[in-house]
Structure 1
Amino acid sequence: MYVDNILREFHEAQDGAVRVMENDLRDMEAIEKIQAQDLVTLIEIPEPPKEELMPKILDISEYTAQSVRFAETLAAKYEDSFQDIQTEIASLCAGGLALSESLKSLAGQVRELTVDENEEDIAVKAEEKLWAELERQSKKLLEKEKLLGYLKKFKEDNEEVIKMLGQSSSGCQSFEEAGFSEDAWQEEAKPPDSDIQKEAKPSNRDIQEETKPVLSLLAKQNEEIDFLLEEIAQTEELNIDRITELVKREYIAPVKDKTDRAKRELLHSCQEELTAILAYNGQLSRFRPQVKDSFLEPCIGQLQENHRSMEEALSDNQQAYMEFAQKSAESSREYTAKIQKHVAEAKTASEEALAQGIGAAKEMKEKNSAMNQGILGGFSSKLAYTRIGSAEYTRIYQFVANPLRAVDRSMSQAAAND
């Protein structure tokens, strides 16, 4: 009977273990039924809206081509004006070359003032004859004081000639003798432009430059006369009349004749040059290079009108793009708001589904755990007396192992009685 009780308890424990295993299987099934797709709600993403009627790209080639045509017309007009100016400049250059050739001719005439008709130097010839006569007359007694006075007078005359030639070469005395004054010439020949005046007056300087050799020779003769004066002062007396006649004949007379002739020629040449200069100055005064700008205003007006049209077209096109961009921005904002709304709804639904799934699993697990605790708790307390470790459990174990013991009552009783 005792063993039967033990086996019954073990059978109950085994049945409880089977229920525990079944409960564990149910827990596993409940947990395995929890799938990720069941706990997650998909987000419905709406298709982004598309704006229709996108503005066309503005074609400004027509406006640019029109601007090019206007610019080409403007350039052609300017080219015509420049061509007219170049024609006037070419005419002025031709007149300047003619005037330059005339001035060169005048300069060549000035260079010839130092020679006579035979192309011989007047001063050299006079010097040779003068020295020959002085040598011949050196042996004679002359009135030294008269000769010295005459030579001094001759020197003064020579200086007067130098002064006259200097004034003639500068053009002042010649013009006065010809009926022209310096102020009158300047007033008549004065161009309207100061640069033209500077361009016309250098001819006189050229004449003065070309007369320098003659003046230099006359100055040299003055030095030689000074030397003669010193020589005569050291001699006894000379034939003053003879020397005076010789000097007048060989030096003063040729120089005076040549000077008078040169003055007449110079006046004539200066008159011609003055006429040429006045004509050239008149041509310069009439030269007023101006671009005919009457065509500028209509061309510029056409360009401005074309640009205004292009600006209006660009403005309209830009406005269309701005409206398109504004609509696109509004559509994007609405689209973003919808996405945010769907995301929030999906989040809430996912949290609810996850809470439901986990709550059911927790509830099942709590029930099974309580049941398992009860079963396993009772099972763990079964056959507690079979455990070794205390005196009480040892006696129980010994009783179970040897429940019966034979006792000789007759002998023990007899002993007790004794």
Structure 2
Amino acid sequence: MWKRPLQVISLLSLMVSSADALTLEETLQSAFQKNETVAQSRQQVVQVEEQISQAKGLVYPSLSLEGSHLIQPKPSDPVAAQFFPERQTTVNFALVQPLFRGGREFAAIRQRNNLLEAQKQAQTQNLIKVYVDVSSAYLDVLAAEQDLKNLNEQREIYADRVKKLQTRSRRGESSATEVLTAQSTAAALDAEAQLVQSRLTSARENLAVLSGVPVDAPLVDKQGETTDIKLRPLEDYLARIEESPEVKSVKEQLEASDEEVSIAKGGHWPTADLLGNYYLERPDGFTKDLKWDIQFKVSIPLFEGGLRSAQVREAVSKKSVADLELARLRRSKEAEMRSLYQNVRLRADQLSALKKSAELAEKNYKTVLRDSHYGLSRNIDVQMALTDYRSIRRTYDQTRFQARLDLIKLESSALYLPAVVTKEM
């Protein structure tokens, strides 16, 4: 009578649990919103944008309101007193327009623009790192849950096996040693399950720290147990080295170093400024009726102790370092992609072999277990078959999740990213 309502309630509970489970995409969205590293990189972009505004401000004119009040002893000479009154009050608007700085001002703006692009690429690097780290933590949780599930299934099998052996022992069909051996293996499985549970707890805590999701939030594996790894040709990955944020960032830093050379060389050039004043109040005397003045000012550097030449040599050296770093990074990225590609390809082959091995091991275990009911196989044969199946199955599951992580690392290294990541760029 109550069986069907209970089945309905159980089904509804399962549907609610599945609906509340977090996918990898949802976990990544939480990480991008709550991760401090991502927020810091965004603020660093804002800082460089403001530095560009500051550099542009050096090109624009500056206007200020100035005022002064001077008190001095009255000159004894009546003529001098006309030029230098005892009290002098001056209030004026002062305008300064930079005209020429040896091109340094415009080189500084270009340099800041290069640094802005470099910082944006650094932000992309941080997003990719968070993507890989969160994916790794997410898959660690799924792997531990799968491992615990496998162990619990085997614990149930051994619990049933112990009961049957105890029954057979009471009938004199099995020895006490067989019962004790099965009980020992069951106890070992219990201990192993506790270790895996501890690993699962640590994995969940790590995921919570990285993404901000609740530590007990259920996760769903949308990919399931599929082992299909879609690997592009190696040439496709290598062709995208120049598009990687690391290489782009160093390229922009190289351009910024080139502009720094221009800034340093600009120090050898003269500077020119246009200065103007409009007086609201002037001291009594001959200048009282002069309401404004304009001044053209030129400064030619003649000797500064070798300062400018040293700055030029330093800037040229920095440019050489950036050039060498770009060459090193290109080689490093190529080696990294080749290594990741080889890992993923080998994982795919390993998965195919492990899947077949796990299927055969399961079939062998079930066959040996069935034969043991008819006295055709010994208890030790059952234990060995189950141990082999357990070991191969766990290796297969761990390799399955590791292969997915290796593929994520390879794809992200070549900037093949899911939409949840690209929309944050």
Confirm or deny a common fold (TM above 0.5): no
Between Structure 1 and Structure 2, the one with more helix by share is 1
CA radius of gyration, larger in: 1
Higher relative contact order (CA 8 A, sep 6+): 1
**Normalising to structure 2: TM-score of the pair?**
0.26
**Normalising to structure 1: TM-score of the pair?**
0.27
